[in-house]
Structure 1
Amino acid sequence: MKQNNDVLLMPAVMFAFLKGLPLIFLSITFLLLSWWLSPYFILFSLAVCGAAWYRILYIRSFKYLITTEYIRITRGIFFKQIDQTEMFRVKDFIITQSFVLQLFKLMNLTLISTDHSNQIINLQGIPESNIVDTIRDRVQEARHHNNIYELN
């Protein structure tokens, strides 16, 4: 159930492709070996190519739903896994961008929470945006709504 003020994020296609690129290169290497040495290397090439496609599709299956009350992470192709953390439990934000992610205007966002089952929430390969400000505002709103005050 998605409302108007909910934010749905997914890893970018380029991020998924970059994560599958080593397997694609390995598949091409096996293909070249089948041409030079033995045609049986084509089987290895097809298997590694299938693994690359699965990895790309798996990364693209991640969905990050950010509402005013919780953050829900859904992942999986054949078997779905859904993790949910209440918004008021989020404590800290960390944005990391490698050089490659900066080239494609992507970022990895790490949320640190007080939830025992989801202490670290990773949102990988999402487009650069002001989502941290949105999450910060929603955390403050959720804490105020639930009368939760942080003591240091």
Structure 2
Amino acid sequence: MDNIIWRGKPSQWLNFGYFVVCGLLFWLVVPIFVAWWRWLAIRNTRYELSTDRLFTYSGVLNTKIDELELYRVKDYSQESPFFLRLVGLSNVLLKTSDDSHPYVNIKAISDATSVRQLLRTNVEACRAKSKVREWSN
């Protein structure tokens, strides 16, 4: 069993633009459902980082679980778009050697610097434990 060392959810600030537009067009009724669906999609997304893997749970009606072995992470970066930076949020971007998920984006989380450092520490530990070395073509 993996030890979960971090859990997080993306912020509803990702939907700010949708909420504003839907609020302005609420009289059309359909935008209310669009805003509700966007809210549910973010509400039902969560990330869990264990000592060996990163799990991404998503989906409103159907649940999808993506699992990334940490030793497959090649590079990590952090981006703070202007609007997210205003509210203290950032994205953590991962470049991986996983064919099904070459890029993973942990969106709109608080304290992304600590999460990125946790990832880095555990990626190196997984590589040492599995005796895996990253190489490029």
TM-score after normalising by structure 2: 0.88
2:117 aligned to which of 105, 125, 133: 133
Gap change, CA 1:93 and 1:119, over 3 Å in 2? same
State the alpha-carbon separation in 1 of the partners of residues 19 and 107 from structure 2: 16
The equivalent of 1:10 in structure 2 is 9
Say whether 1:148 aligns with 2:132: yes
What SS does the aligned partner of 2:37 have? helix
Percent of residue pairs bearing the same amino acid type: 24
- Which runs of 5 or more structure 1 residues have no equivalent in the other structure? 32-44
The equivalent of 2:88 in structure 1 is 105
Asked whether the 8 Å contact 2:52–2:69 carries over to 1, the reply is yes
What SS does the aligned partner of 1:21 have? helix
- Which runs of 5 or more structure 2 residues have no equivalent in the other structure? none
Structure (1 or 2) with the larger CA radius of gyration: 1
**Structure 1 segment 30-109 matched on structure 2, within 5 A:** 31=27, 45-109=28-92
2:25 aligned to which of 15, 24, 27: 27
What SS does the aligned partner of 2:98 have? coil
Higher strand fraction (1 or 2): 2
Gap change, CA 1:144 and 1:9, over 3 Å in 2? same
Number of aligned pairs? Answer: 135
